[in-house]
Amino acid sequence: MSQIQARFFTEDKRYVVDDVPFSIPAASEVQDLSNVINKLLEAKNASHSKVDFDFLVRGQFLRTSLSTHMATEGISTEEVVEIEYVERITAPEPEECMMHDDWISSVDADAEWILTGSYDKTARIWSTEGKPAMTVAGHTDVVKDVAWVKREGLTSLLLTASLDQTVLLWEWNSERNKVKARHCCRGHAGSVDTISVDPTGTKVRLERARQKLKRQQRTPLMTLSGHSEAVSSVLWCDSEEVCSASWDHTIRIWDVDTGGMKTTLTGSKVFNCISYSPLCRRLASGSTDRHIRLWDPRTKDGSLVLLSLTSHTGWVTAVKWAPSHAHQLVSGSLDNLVKLWDTRSCKAPLYDLAAHEDKVFCVDWTESGLMLSGGADNKLYTYRYSAQQAEA
Amino acid sequence: MPARQDRCFTKTKKLCPSCTLNTALFNSSDISNILSQSDADKLFPAFIISRLDYCNSLLSGCPKSSVKSLQSFQNATVRKLTGTKKREYISPILDIRNTVGNIPMEWYKDFPHIGYNLDGKKIYKPIRNKDELDDFLDKMENPEYWRTVHDKQTGSDVVLSDDQVELVNRLQRGQFGDVNFNECEPMVEFFSSDVMIHPVTNRPADKRSFIPSLTEKEKVSKLVHAIKMGWIKPRRVEDDGRGRYYNLWASEDSSILARHKMHLPAPKIPLPGHHESYNPPPEYLFTDEERALWEQQDPADRKLPFVPRKYSSLRQVPAFSQFIHERFERCLDLYLCPRQRKMRVNVNPEDLIPQLPKPKDLQPFPTTRSLVYRGHSGLVRSISVSPSGQWLASGSDDGSVRFWEVCSSRCMKTVQVGGAVKSVAWNPNPSVCLLAVVILSSERLLSAQQEGEEPAEGNGSVVWSEAEGEELNQGLRLKIQHPKAVHQVVWHAKGDYLASVMPDNTSHLQVYIHQLSRRRSQNPFSRNKGLVQCISFHPIRPYFFVATQRSIRIYNLVKQEMTKKLQTNSKWISSMAVHPGGDHVICGSYDCKLSWFDLDLSTKPYKMLRHHKKAVRGVAYHRLYPLFASASDDGSVIVCHGTVYNDLLQNPLIVPVKVLRGHVMTHDLGVLDVTFHPTQPWVFSSGADATICLFT
């Protein structure tokens, strides 16, 4: 039993091969299969240059030899195996390292600017090239979370949340490089740990470290109460739904129109962070037991873990879905590592980014192909990744 | 002399020629010519003594006249032989006048005579009119009395001669009767041990000495035949069943009997092992580490009572200094060994193990070290978590109090208090943010401080003072100066009262309770009950726990009386924690023990846990989860599951679930304090290595 009948297919129009079964050695690994595809493509197209491919067997990345993979997955070797191949994601390349004065608590990046919140009570604005543009100082305590609200031309609105129980709304003109505090949002009786801006950019949802969530413009529009402990993360799923993760081991999804709770997802450990991907409609949560769990927010039973991604050795403090890829997410952890995951390969991460020398507190993506991570070593690292696949 | 003998013999020959005696005498006369005097002296007595009886019988039939002459002859012979003189009395053996024979003389008691003489005439008893008095007088006056013997056969008194007395004395001394007899004559060796050239006899050995004896064979075969035929039976064994012996205890109760039959062998001494060898293999010798451990241990806890030593030869082994002690211990063992047989029951040993749930099923509990809070430069004495669980305060010997953000291990604030911090305690009331800090200042005063994010603080008996200026800016709000060094401060669950401990053996002013809202202090105890180690408030009821060195006292603060006294069975209590339900107390001690008390059950520990290798420094209960933890000098924190049931009949379930290690041993100190997160199953531990660890 050394040969397996396999049929290769891809959704990438550039690399299509004939839809015929091939007989390939069962012991062949990714590199062997990649060579096979390259040979086929060269036969078809003389100008083809060598490309590395990754292979998916029934939606799972091939990481071992084909026979081993099929044995563990329980796939019959009698039939023709359908193997999908995609261009391999190249390793993210470190680009810039932005030094801060103190620990970096949060990062939010859009296509042009990067906003970071730091433990030195300031927020900073950087260009994507790593040049410091502005330092936003005004809080009397540690800035725990930052967010861009919206950008109109050269004027941007940004939010900073701090341990001093306030959220400040700033207006920043990038040309004149002036920042002006527009509003101070009060209403929390404890530190404000996380904020989130709804997709349309008009409403802000704040969260505080204690049992209530507040949704604010200037004064709180609505308080969402239900969590029994600190809320660690909030986000807008879409314009009607807010999702919050808490230390009381639950993720709750709220209806913003009524202010009522729609779903509760119950885990067994403290949730540190959540992220929602509109592409695959999944919630990813990072918790203190070192696992990243994927949830389906639409289930009604509320406690279904679709998948657990386990490789970190410390608390997962940050998790973020790729903005343009349905399967990729990045996670940061207290074990100083940032990991890039593909949900189709749940056994091991695609890449470990071991640039940080201390705890990682925040990660982010931009649609322009940048990954960012910041942590307790006062450094914000940016990585360039191959963002060419947007086939989903 | 020979001539006279010859004449006598001749005379005798005439009288009774057939008499054997006379024949013998006659024969002797034939040989008398060749006999010397001394030989004759030996020979004649031999004949006469051997034949005397016979002579007497011979004489019985003779006529009186001849008898007389014969008798006189006989007497003469005897006299000759024994060398007595003619006038002396002749031995009664030879007195043949009474012919009744050798019969008990009592038979003649009632007769006037005592027998018959040779002529058949009665021999009359001598007239004895002596009464006892005469006898006594005789005894007193007669010098011969002591040698006078009564002759029963004749009824007369005989006075013994000197020779006879001498003879009696000699016989009594066990000597030969004859004075001249020499018992030590040289032996004439007929067959000497010397080997001679010529054999004694030259006759060759008989044939029969070489061959088996036919006669014997015949006898044996006869016996065998008789045995085969059953004519000879084996000797009958005497049957004892007839009742010669009987069972004394047959009617006893069988259970008592069974108990008496029980034999209890003495407990065995374990066989000596390689350790005890004078030249043990090197792996049995102590390393420095083991030796240090051995010396540190209590003699009762030591695995070996001695240190194995190596000597090059047995000669150099000194005397065992512990010998007397060891023997004494052995005697003590024998003396104290249980006098009851252990009934061995065949039980599967696994059935005896209580059905403890697996730790896996008891989750959640902390398992791994997640965060390390670094920043202190001295050992961290005390930690406390804010009621919200967001902040952690720690007090260290470097004179600073630090505030940490729990989730990021960030030190948010450092307050220098100017003295080693002994204890910190966060106010349990979530609406006020206060921290009580015990500072051991250099002038041995102590002040408790409280600080918070909206800093405020308090303290009491003492001098209450508001903080001002610089201290106010640092967050100090209130100072309570105590007269002595304070060691611990605890809050009441409501957050208005706090109590402080000043351990002092001599004073009753060891505990103060301060009321924050009214700024006053009181000393609840008027008497000194021992050195107070730690105190605690009951979480619900108005009780107050005071741990002294060996016991815990529980006071009712409303009734102002002691309600209970718990005996810990430990030598020195180090720490105490009260279950949030209020019915259970755990208590750690410096002798490595952790005791769990069920206040409803008893004043003795419900369970003693001896998992730590060194002194237990801190214990803590979780507020929500059924967990408790103990920190020890061996650098480990042991987390145990302790479910408390509402059902009074069910005892608490205690399962050790995890040993957490993460602290580095510094100056022989490991973990100094342990506390749980108020809401999560996380445990914080502070160590002598100036770090705080969070285990999740």
What pLDDT digit, counting tens, does each position of A160-197 carry? 888 877 778 888 887 777 778 777 777 677 777 777 77
Of B364, B407, B410, the CB nearest to A103: B410
CB within 8 Å: A289 and B407: no
Q: Which of A45-49, A220-224, A256-260, B641-645 has the lowest mean pLDDT?
A: A220-224
B389 vs A376: CB contact, 8 Å cut-off? Answer: no
Contacts of A88 (CB under 8 A, 6+ apart): A34, A51, A52, A53, A54
Cα separation, B402 vs B414, in Å, equals: 4
Nearest to B390 among A209, A289, A361 (CB): A209
State whether residue B408 sits within 8 Å of chain A by CB: yes
For residue B90, pLDDT over 60 is answered with no
- Do the chains contact at B388 and A248, CB–CB below 8 Å? no
In B, minimum Cα distance to A142 occurs at: B412
Residue B232 placed within a domain? no
Task: Round to whole Å and give the CA distance between A301 and A149.
Answer: 34
- Using CA coordinates, name the residue in chain B closest to A103: B410
* Residue with the two structure tokens 């009607």: A240
Measure the CA angle with vertex A225, ends A224 and A226; round to 5°: 125
Q: In the structure encoding, which two tokens stand for residue B408, read together? A: 């990021």
The count of CB pairs under 8 A between chains A and B is 45
Total domain count, chain B: 2
- Tokens at residue B210, please? 């070489």
Instruction: For chain A, say whether B130 makes contact (Cβ under 8 Å).
Output: no
- Residues from chain B that touch A191, judged by Cβ atoms under 8 A, are 390
Asked if B679 is an interface residue toward chain A (Cβ–Cβ < 8 A), one would say yes
Read off the DSSP letter of residue B508.
S
- Residue B258, pLDDT score: 67
- The pLDDT score that the predictor gives to residue A204 is 55
Buried b (16+ CB within 10 A) or exposed e, B290-309: eeeebeeeeeeeeeeeeebe
Cβ density class B380-407: b for 16+ within 10 Å, e for less: bbbbbbbbbbbbbbbbbbbbbbbbbbbb
- Within a domain: residue B208? no
- List alpha helices for B206-322, DSSP H: 214-229, 254-261, 288-296
**In which domain, by residue range, is B34 found?**
3-96+128-146+159-172
Q: Are the beta carbons of A99 and A379 closer than 8 angstroms?
A: yes
What number of other Cβ atoms are within 10 A of residue B103's Cβ?
A: 10
What confidence score (pLDDT) does residue B46 get? 55
Q: CA angle A18-A23-A29, nearest 5°?
A: 95
Distance CA A267, CA B253 (A): 70
Please answer yes or no on whether A359 and B364 come within 8 Å at the CB atom: no
Those residues whose C-beta lies under 8 Å from the C-beta of residue A121, and which sit 6 or more positions away, are A137, A139, A140, A141, A142, A143, A162
B221 pLDDT higher than 90? yes
- Residues of chain A with Cβ-Cβ distance to B679 below 8 Å are 228-229, 247-248
DSSP code of residue A298: T
Nearest to A246 by CA among A263, A260, A234, A261: A234
Closest chain B C-alpha to A314 CA, distance in angstroms: 6
Interface of A with B (CB under 8 A): 103, 105, 119, 142, 163, 190-191, 209-210, 228-230, 232, 247-248, 268-270, 272, 288-289, 314-315, 334, 359, 361, 376
Sign for the CA dihedral angle at B194, B198, B201, B202 comes to positive
Task: Kindly determine whether residue A314 and residue B679, on different chains, have CB atoms separated by under 8 Å.
Answer: no
**Mean pLDDT for the stretch of residues B143-165:** 83
Is residue A5 within 8 Å of A28, Cβ to Cβ? no
Closest-CA residue of chain B to A118: B410
Rounded alpha-carbon distances, angstroms, from residue B667 to B268, B527, B618:
43, 37, 18
Residue type, A11: E
**Span between the terminal Cα atoms of chain B, in Å:** 142
CA B513, CA B500: separation in Å to the nearest integer?
Answer: 7
Distance from CA of B370 to the nearest CA of A (A): 6
What's the mean per-residue pLDDT of chain B?
A: 78
Q: Kindly list the strands in the beta sheet with B446-450, ordered across the sheet, starting from the edge strand earlier in the chain.
A: B420-426, B435-440, B446-450, B478-482, B463-466
Reported confidence tier of residue B456, pLDDT bands at 50, 70, 90: very low
Is B525 among the domain residues? yes
The answer for B495, left when phi > 0, alpha when psi is -120 to 50, beta otherwise, is: left
Does residue B450 have a pLDDT over 60? no
Q: What is the pLDDT of residue B13?
A: 41
Instruction: Answer whether A209 sits within 8 Å of B696, measured CB to CB.
Output: no
Gap between the Cα atoms of B238 and B294, Å rounded: 68
- Say if the Cβ atoms of A288 and B370 lie within 8 Å: yes
- Across the range B126-132, mean pLDDT stands at 75
Its pTM surpasses 0.80: no
pLDDT value at residue A127: 82
The answer to whether position B135 is within a domain reads: yes
Grade residue B26 by pLDDT with cuts at 50, 70 and 90.
very low
pLDDT digits (tens, 9 = 90+) for B386-430: 888 888 888 888 888 888 888 888 888 888 877 788 888 888 887
Note the Cα B541 to chain centre separation in Å. 53
Domain presence at residue B191: no
Using a CB-CB distance cutoff of 8 angstroms, which residues of chain A are in contact with residue B371?
315, 334
Interface predicted TM-score (ipTM) of this complex, two decimals: 0.82
Q: For A119, which of B371, B410, B696 is closest by C-beta distance? A: B410
Q: Does the distance separating the beta carbons of A247 and B370 come in below 8 Å?
A: no
Contact B409 A359 (CB under 8 A): yes
Residue B691 lies in a domain: yes
**Chain B residue closest to A144 (CA)?**
B408
Decide if B296 is inside a domain. no
Q: To probe the interface with A, which of B386, B403, B407, B432 has the most A CB atoms within 10 Å?
A: B407
Is A269's CB within 8 Å of B410's CB? no
Strand partners, B149: B158
Q: At what angle do helices B2-15 and B20-31 cross, to 10 degrees?
A: 150
Q: Which stretch of DSSP H or E encloses residue A170?
A: strand A167-173
Highest mean pLDDT among A94-103, B32-41, B91-100: A94-103
- Flag if B370 and A119 touch (Cβ within 8 Å): no
User: What are the strands of the beta sheet with A104-109, ordered from one edge?
Assistant: A104-109, A113-118, A122-127, A132-137
Query: Which candidate from B370, B390, B696 shows the least CB-CB separation from A230?
Result: B390
- Cβ distance B390 to A191 less than 8 Å, yes or no, reads yes
Q: Are strands A167-173 and A178-185 parallel, antiparallel or unpaired?
A: antiparallel
Please report residues of A whose CB lies closer than 8 A to that of B405.
142
**B9 in any annotated domain:** yes
Rounded Cα distance between B489 and B535, Å, is: 8
CATH of the domain at B412: 2.130.10.10
What pLDDT sits at residue B37?
58
